[in-house]
Structure 1
Amino acid sequence: MSTFQLTRTLPDDAMAAALRADVMHGLTRTPKELPPKWFYDARGSELFEEITRLPEYYPTRAEREILVARSARIAAETGARTLVELGSGSSEKTRHILDALTELHSYVPVDVSESALTGAAEALLAERPELHVHALIADFTRSLTLPETPGPRLVAFLGGTIGNLLPGERQAFLRSVRAMLSPGDALLLGTDLVKEEAVLVAAYDDAAGVTAEFNRNVLAVINRELGADFPLDDFAHVALWNAEEEWIEMRLRARDAVTVKIRELDLVVSFVAGEEIRTEVSAKFRQEGVRAELAEAGLKMSEWWTDAAGRFALSLSTAV
């Protein structure tokens, strides 16, 4: 008999307060920046789904290729009875794993969006009526207390989303994941890999301009939620490869001098022509670097799988 439970670990006003704090901090510092999580309102989520289908955007297809090929192996190695997915969204990425985990008892999707969690749970339970789903409305970058579910547990963090965290944030995040794991539990981690600059930049600056609209959507969110008056078309989408840091940076560049008022913060922000807001970092990885970061957090990599073209990797790790 299936069950569905939804637990809110964030106060009702937590996201609104976080947006206010991030905008105040990010737009009053030099250089200006905004966290990428604010792309993802309903429109932003639609745009990102469109991005994953673009010919230039390989990560989703590459990760799916690995999951199709390796899910049975993942299931055999972990024997997981609980699957925890961080940043689950629509839960589409984990369908192959869910199908392979024949002994699965519980699925714990974690996301900030209640609508995404309930929608995904309804679709999943229609297919898997025996499954127990305990969804958490939570920010996965903060410490989590997981519900009591049978072990072993498999924690999945897919899509290369770990690349959106800066190195210090990544280490804090991996330590928090390590704290969730008991003996016999495992972490399945998706990481985009270092490759040719042209391939990387094209994935974040597609010919159809979908990523440009996605990038500017963060300004639309601020306009709507905080009463700002950003003129969206006055900001150009920029994607570039930072070879020293080995990450892609997305930025919004003011085409001309512009002054923006953010009513809810009683804030006026001025931009000179050419001034930029960094809106996303997307780090790309090498196997030895991933292994070292996991080890520093107390995790031992046991498996490393890539797609046939070597563009993307999934790694399986256990607590040391």
Structure 2
Amino acid sequence: MSNTLQKNLNYKKYVIDNRLQYFKPHASRIEKTFAEEISFSLNRHCKFISPKFFYDKKGSDLFEKICMLPEYYPTKTEITILKKLQNELPSYLDKNFRVVELGSGASVKTRIILDIFSQIYDVVEYFPIDISEILAESSESLLKDYDHLHITGIIDTYEGGLEFLKNYDEKKNLILFLGSSFGNFSPVDGHEFLQKINSTMKKGDLFLIGLDLVKDRQILESAYDDSQGITAEFNLNVLSRINDELDADFNLNNFSHHSLYNEHDQRIEMYLKSLVNQSVVISKSDLLLNLEKDELIHTEYSHKYKLSDIHKLLDDVGFDIKHTWLDDKNYFSLTLASKI
């Protein structure tokens, strides 16, 4: 990658050693984006906070705890499907692939894919893209366990990281979007995001996406409002992050976690509910936020899909579906696709 391209994309390169490097936009750019987005989203009639802002260090740690909860089936189920891929995925790969992951992790899921690549390649290249600083920490953990792994991290939004990758080199990419993160997008935004992924892919690149399937309401609602209150803590932590990074004065005791399954729109809806009439100052967003008792701040949608929805969605964007894998209960799906 040329220094000119690096400069034009407003990234700084950090070389840790000969196996680990990462690129990061200038700090002022990230802070400005966060402040501007919060100012916009909380100044609407129907207030919201983008779920991408859940994942600071504490938020990422809390989500790891959620994944271990008995009620939260998506992670455990997806892992069972990924293990099926150990014998099947290599047939779709040649000798010129790297792993690109949207949402980095040192979790079991990432390691299953890295194990598959380690069986095929003498040197495995891994490009995690994540807005959270946890990327650097998780990368170092992976390097301890994989002697032939080389990591180039991109600390940025998914869109920013994909655009960066588009101009990086000519090596083929297997782009992973695991978990049920795609379900956070509205249908319109999800369609645009898949178009973005498709537009950054080269001929021969592959895309592996995890999508949660429609199922019983009780199973879904329990998964997003667990008995231990970890999901509630995770939801409320976004207010702590705004306090810390944007100099706000949210009192977390004045809010509660609220979630439900909207059967018509096939989605879990997650909110922060104001328990009192209150005013909040967010200094770096130049915002005085007035909230009424029981007013909701939307923080996340988690859409669920039928198999017919998945096929139509990927077809419409211009993907060629190679294979879809399911678990034994048909709770979750993994679909492999290429650019047409």
TM over 0.5: yes
3-state SS of 2:227 partner: coil
What amino acid is aligned across from residue 113 of structure 2 in structure 1? I
The AA in structure 1 aligned to 2:105 is G
Alpha-carbon distance between aligned partners in 1 of 2:266 and 2:18, rounded to the nearest angstrom: 45
Distance in 2 (CA, whole Å) between partners of 1:111 and 1:154 is 16
Equivalent residue number for residue 100 of structure 1: 116
Alignment of 1:247-286 (within 5 A): 247-286=267-306
Q: Is the 8 A contact 1:78 1:184 kept in 2?
A: no
* Aligned position for 1:306: 326
TM (normalized to structure 2)? Answer: 0.88
**1:177 correspondence with 2:215:** no
Q: Using the alignment, how far apart are the partners of 2:295 and 2:143 within structure 1?
A: 48
Mapped pair 1:113 → 2:132: yes
Match of 1:89 in 2: 105
| Aligned pairs for 1:194-233 within 5 A | 194-233=214-253
Deviates more, 1:135-144 or 1:185-194: 135-144
Name the structure 2 match of 1:57.
72
Please name the residue that 2:175 is paired with. 155
Q: What's the TM-score, normalizing by structure 1?
A: 0.93
Partner Cα distance (1:250, 1:306) in 2: 26
For structure 2, the residue ranges without an aligned partner over 5 or more in a row are: 1-16
Q: Match for 1:129 among 147, 150, 156?
A: 147
> Contact 2:72–2:223 at 8 Å: present in 1 too?
yes
Moved more, 221-230 or 277-286: 221-230
2:213 aligns to what?
Answer: 193
Partner of 2:157: 139
Trace 1:28-43 onto structure 2 (pairs within 5 A): 28-43=43-58
8 Å contact kept, 1:89–1:113: no
Deviation at 1:128, TM superposition (A): 2.3
Which structure shows the bigger proportion of residues in helix conformation?
2
Code of the residue aligned with 2:201 in structure 1: it is L
| Residues 160-169 or 53-62, more deviating | 160-169
Shift of 1:255: 1.4
Q: Percent identity?
A: 36
Q: Which amino acid aligns with 1:312?
A: F
1:127 and 1:266 map into 2 onto residues whose CA distance is 46
Superimposed CA distance per residue, residues 78-121 of structure 1 (whole angstroms, 9 cap, x where no aligned partner): 3362111111133542211111122344211111234x222232
Which stretch of structure 1 is more off in the superposition, 125-134 or 198-207? Answer: 125-134
Q: Report what 1:242 is aligned to.
A: 262
Q: Do 1:2 and 1:129's aligned partners in 2 also have CA atoms closer than 8 Å?
A: no
Shift of 1:319: 1.1
| Structure 1 residue 189, shift from structure 2 partner | 0.3
Alpha-carbon deviation of 1:193? 0.8
Query: How much does 1:253 deviate?
Result: 0.9
| 8 Å CA contact retained: 1:291, 1:300 | no
In 1, distance between residues paired with 2:155 and 2:285? 26
Q: CA deviation at 1:149?
A: 5.7
Q: Which is worse superposed, 130-139 or 241-250?
A: 130-139
Amino acid at match of 2:19: T
**AA at the equivalent of 2:236:** R
Equivalent of 1:289, from 287, 306, 309?
309
Letter in 2 for 1:261: V
CA contact (8 A) 1:252 1:279 kept: yes
**Cα offset, 1:283, TM superposition:** 0.8
Q: Supply the AA of the counterpart residue of 1:89.
A: G
